Amino acid sequence: MKQINLPFKIDRDIVFFDLETTGRNPFTDRIVEISAAKVKVDGSIEIKTKRINPQIPIPPSATAIHGISDDDVKDSPTFKAISTSLFKYLDGCDLGGYNALKYDIPLLSEEFKRAGINSFSLDSRRIIDPQIIFHKMEPRDLSAALKFYCGKELNDAHSSEADITATIEVFLGQLKKYQDIFKTLDDVSKFCSYRDESWIDKEGKIIWLDGEAVINFGKKQGVSLKTLSETEPDFLKWMLNASFSDEVKQIVKDAIIGKFPEKK
């Protein structure tokens, strides 16, 4: 892609960027690769990609997703080494990216802070996030499902009888569309389960990550129970008095005394 034709004029460049990282927490994980496509006011596009040494081990679970290992980045520059040139590259530009507002931009901001650049700001920048556009423009309610799977309009929406009839029609339409996947009711039930294979408890508050039981929420996301028991036991004690399930609290109680889940 060398040139695009937007349906309107832009008054400054837009940098669409994507990050490959060490994990899913935008506040604690690190960048291992960044790709940036600068869409200039004349419609031309300049694309740059850079591998980055995160200075922490890349978990196997992350490598399985993006294919980048510790060996691949051992000779790459650190983020701090490229931070000044990247800051200048983004200066005066609007920003764009898929899921950028929730993930890529917060993570990039944290990397700049760690590099000693505290002036990276979204003030006066326009942000373009196609994921938000997609979710707002393509509804995921029952009416949309009935139209997608059955080609019908939902009349009397929010009438309980109309809704439940539509729900059954949608389900039948799904069985027809995905008949290679749903061969039994057990297949359907398993697919509908909210429980991910990585979850240790039924709510997914504690999960398996690279063979260790780790926290899966908040600022401690990605931190192992073992590490917390050794360095921040007060956090685990807080969990015992917070609104978590009895299952989670029992796991935490065990962790406090040095007993951790074992993956079977």
User: pLDDT tens digits for 167-212?
Assistant: 999 999 999 999 999 999 888 988 886 677 889 998 889 999 888 9
The C-alpha atoms of residue 224 and residue 214 are separated, in whole angstroms, by: 4
The answer to whether residues 251 and 206 touch, using CB atoms and an 8 Å cutoff, is yes
Token pair 């008054």 is at which residue? 11
Give the pLDDT of residue 159: 81
Partners of 53 in the β-ladder: 78
Does some domain include residue 198?
no
Give the pLDDT of residue 28: 83
* Dihedral (Cα; 75, 79, 81, 87), 10-degree rounding: 140
Residue 151 lies in domain: 142-185
Residues 34 and 51 in one domain: yes
The C-alpha atoms of residue 97 and residue 66 are separated, in whole angstroms, by: 17
Reply yes or no on whether the pLDDT at 217 is more than 70: yes
Give the pLDDT of residue 194: 65
Average pLDDT over residues 223-243: 94
Does some domain include residue 193?
no
The answer to whether residues 223 and 206 touch, using CB atoms and an 8 Å cutoff, is no
Q: Residues 93, 98, 100, CA angle at the centre, nearest 5°? A: 60
Mean pLDDT (the chain, rounded): 92
Average pLDDT over residues 119-134: 92
Reply yes or no on whether the pLDDT at 128 is more than 70: yes
Does some domain include residue 149?
yes
Average pLDDT over residues 145-159: 90
Average pLDDT over residues 76-98: 97
The terminus-to-terminus CA distance of the chain in angstroms comes to 48
